[in-house]
Structure 1
Amino acid sequence: MTTAEILAAHDRFVVPTYGRFPLAFVRGRGARLWDAEGREYLDFGAGIAVCALGHAHPALAEALARQAATLIHVSNLYHVELQARLAERIVSLLGGGRCFFCNSGAEANEALFKLARKFGHREGRYEVLTAVNSFHGRTLAGISATGQEKVKAGFEPMMEGFRHVPFNDLAAVEAALSKKTAAILIEGVQGESGIHPASAEYLLGLRDLCDRNHLLLLMDAVQDGMFRTGRFQSWQRLLEGSRDARAAAFLPDGISMAKGLAGGVPMGGVWIRPPHDLLLGPGSHGSTFGGTPLACAAAWAVFEAIEREGLAEHARRMGAHLLDRLRNLASPRVAAVRGLGLMIGIELAQEIPALHAEGKLPSALFTAKLMETGLLVVPAGARTIRFLPPLNVTRAECDEAVEKLARGLASL
């Protein structure tokens, strides 16, 4: 099919829940994608931080083929070896606890919401505090938890039990606590709102606040986890170098994971710290397709490749290189550059006439402009675009992305 034919079929048969760009990709390799007409693009979105190893990574493709020929699915009524091994691997990176597997970040956050409800149930506590400008998924509970009004419009009334407080503001969190509060949920790096990292003081203060008030501290690591920042979890990277003695002992009570976890195969997961890891007993939660042999084989292959290829440290180096190149662009059209590892936001200046169009955000308009140069990025909020390349992106590809970005900026 041609791109025009694919777009026409989408328009006719697919529910229009996405504001899609007029591209249709049919093949990928590494950090490259090719559309239906054979045009090549440099993919610095990686499926919104999903394709951790890039496209068609040989080890991941081989693991999927081997597992598909062995066992794709078996019910969670039975034990799955790969699921147990994967859980053990994740637990070993965090120090104790247990894992639950599902299919997406939204599902993973749903498990955290139920954990918080179960935790506070006997005392009548069910409220979860989240941050302004946060993003926690597209389910009804997910948009209720999300601190952005745009995702809620038309779906009111929201689920009760969620309130939003300013990000990186410990005093605001403390002031918002009530007798109904059971948990606090934050992202280590806010992604959808434009790449905003939490401060070390904020993270450590939240841990103390939760300990003093018998609350769960929950982390949404759906986008910023899986070594994207140079450590398995973003909070590990954010607390590096802290002289505060509390940093070495910092640990959340629950973490949601997805996106890069299985390199493109649908998978989500939750890690829960003891003793809370036994709160969700038999019958309290489940997922038909959660932790299938196929998905677990994919996730195992991703972990293996990251370790074998040294991609955590590589993500640090490439992230530092990108930030250096981007900050040296000296373009009046760039207001700020923020980032941690390979999670980078480029905030556009306020007044760029070429990015003014009725009903369209400047970030989306500039994303479309960059497609003309052959660069794929992801909008974040009104004026920010994201670089979320594969963890194995090369230095040459980073330089190419910056050059394409510079051409796009110069064309405005």
Structure 2
Amino acid sequence: MDRRSFMAKASVGGAAAAAATTLAAPALAQSMPRITWRLASSFPKSTPSLWNAGETLCNFVSEATDGQFTIQPFAPGELVGGLQVHDAVSEGTVEIAHTVGYYFWGKDPTFALGSAVPFALNARGMNAFMYYGGGNEMYNEFLSQFNLYGLPGGNTGAQMGGWFRKEINTVDDLKGLKFRVGGFAGRVLEELGVVPQQLAGGDVYAALERGTIDATEFTNPYDDEKLGFVKVAPYYYAPGVWEGGPMVHFFLNKQKHEELPPVYQAVLRGASAMANGSMLADYDWRNPPALLELVAQGAQLRYFSKEVMDAMFDAANKVYAEIGATNPAFANMWGAIKDFRTKHYTWSQVTEYNYDTYMMIKQNEGAL
């Protein structure tokens, strides 16, 4: 090849490469425009494991898009109240919320099925159902009527049953009990004579101290330790059967989500999955030392008896049947959860249960 022919071909190649670069830059800019969103959280910064998952999503989105797509998190009250995030996102005044579906069960009980209802799935089961069992699709079909789109955004794992001023030994001990218990679980416990109380977190300690309420549930030892309930209600019960695997969600304005470039939608899916896994790991790391500290402070661990739990189980099934009879969306999703619940706990008995039980025996023998 002579020099003139080589230079001509090189020039053509160089021009083509330059043209490709020129074409790629605008295309990239079009697919990654500059977008700024706001996130309204239902969780105060004083509950860091909950709050931090929202920050995890925001940081992931910014880093993955080189700062082109940013989301700024706001604590309850900074934009809207913690229980007003649903309406704010639905109406489009805020683009995204970090919250729990059962907060809004009063609008429709189906909201609770995407988070937790009594005697449903544990955290692993809930993740399996939502990601691979069609749960996300069913939940988003339901959410679309509220102009919402949901992405899993965390799980606390099975919660504690709560703090009680007196022991709960029989079903009769529940009758007339003024119990600060959230949302859907309160509806179920009403069947057993419990009087559910709705109180803001900051008011609970004083109400327990004065005897205005008899008991409260919150979350897990890590959060509970900060609130000081052990000083006024020493009986710390487990398990929280109403929240065996409560899933937290990111609720996005459906229209604004659909307007995002596909690459940003994909980034949000990845970011939410990161937040979802990190919250459970965070609680699993922080709860053990917090529980030991609470016991050192005088917490008396108690466990609900089988009699009490059976009564709660029967009450829950009664409520599910009543709601499902008039609410097709609830009946459809609850039916799918029940079907998978049978499979999940059949499988769990084979390996997880036996492995964990053996390890707990060795723990109690002081062998670990």
**TM-score of the pair, normalised by structure 2:** 0.28
Which structure shows the bigger proportion of residues in helix conformation? 2
